[in-house]
Structure 1
């Protein structure tokens, strides 16, 4: 198998780390790994319903997730069980690392949401980021995280993630 394709049955375990601890881990179908971007698909891995007020993640939702080895974020397309696009949830992260059957991503607290119609683009968790102490512990990472959030917001407001994910 080449680095540009993946067999549909290929699986990977997504491991989201936050503050040095595993926040969640879940199995996902490996859709693509071209050596730079890794794309996976997985059902909503949270327990029950998570209502953010502007979107609800719930059993039956399907996430198509895109991670980069050279970018400080991930972009997740969120679809309802009936296939309707709810929007895109973006996490600011350190670049992803795929090792064996695991895809490990370190969450840096900053997030962005873009609704399906583009009418709602919002930054999330900036207070958590400020409280995390990352700017003091690792100024280079904090700067990269802030730049990544700005890049995501610009893409979201300019029409979405089609070019990035194409």
Structure 2
């Protein structure tokens, strides 16, 4: 694997996405760099699980392709989800600490809050607020908890006002 040093990564460079939750690796999967401007790093990867994950409002399944946008200075990641035929399903947004990139890895710390935006923009769902409350982040790190809630509010506002896709264009 090519090592990504400081500075932007070249398109096509392989990278491992590492999602961390509560100090432990939750998920690790290979991806390929789509673009990197030094602040936002975008990667593409197939659905990382062998099985279907049905959320009720969307199903992630083998054949789906995720184009994931991570920022080194923002508290979220936006994941565009397309099916095997390239039809847009929508965007799954993880509230995370700013991404850290180096040594062939992109590390994002999941802060338990999520947002789903349907392909037509008609459905915007705040997710996992109960998990966030139970995580204890507000007690352990009130500043991080406030940043996480602010990021969720920002994404929801952008989605509801039709400005969401400008984040990733």
| TM-score after normalising by structure 1 | 0.95
Give the equivalent residue in structure 2 for 1:13. 16
User: How much does 1:160 deviate?
Assistant: 4.8
Q: Is the 8 A contact 1:65 1:75 kept in 2?
A: yes
- Paired position in structure 1 for 2:3: none
Moved over 6 A (4+): none
Matched, 1:76 2:76: no
Residue 94 of structure 1 is matched in structure 2 by: 97
Please show how residues 57-76 of structure 1 align to structure 2 within 5 Å: 57-76=60-79
**Counterparts of 1:95 and 1:35 in 2: how far apart (Å)?**
13
Aligned twin of 1:112: 115
* C-alpha separation in 2, matches of 1:12 and 1:136: 34
Please, which runs of 5 or more residues in structure 1 have no aligned partner?
Answer: none
Distance, in Å, in 1 between the alignment partners of 2:8 and 2:23 is 31
The answer on whether the counterparts of 2:11 and 2:36 sit within 8 Å (CA) in structure 1 is no
* Partner of residue 130, structure 2: 127
Structure 1 CA distance for aligned equivalents of residues 158 and 62 of structure 2: 28
- SS, match of residue 127 in structure 1: helix
Q: Matched residue of 2:167: which SS? A: helix
Question: 1 CA distance for matches of 2:138 and 2:104?
Answer: 32
For structure 2, which runs of at least 5 residues remain unmatched after alignment? 1-6
CA drift at 1:47: 2.9
- 1:5 is displaced (CA, Å) by 6.4
Q: Secondary structure at the residue paired with 1:108?
A: strand
Provide the rounded CA distance (Å) in 2 between the counterparts of 1:7 and 1:111: 27
Per the normalisation by structure 2, the TM-score is 0.93
CA deviation after TM superposition for structure 1 residue 4, in Å:
5.7
**How far apart, CA to CA, are the structure 2 residues paired with 1:91 and 1:154?**
15
Q: CA RMSD in A?
A: 1.1
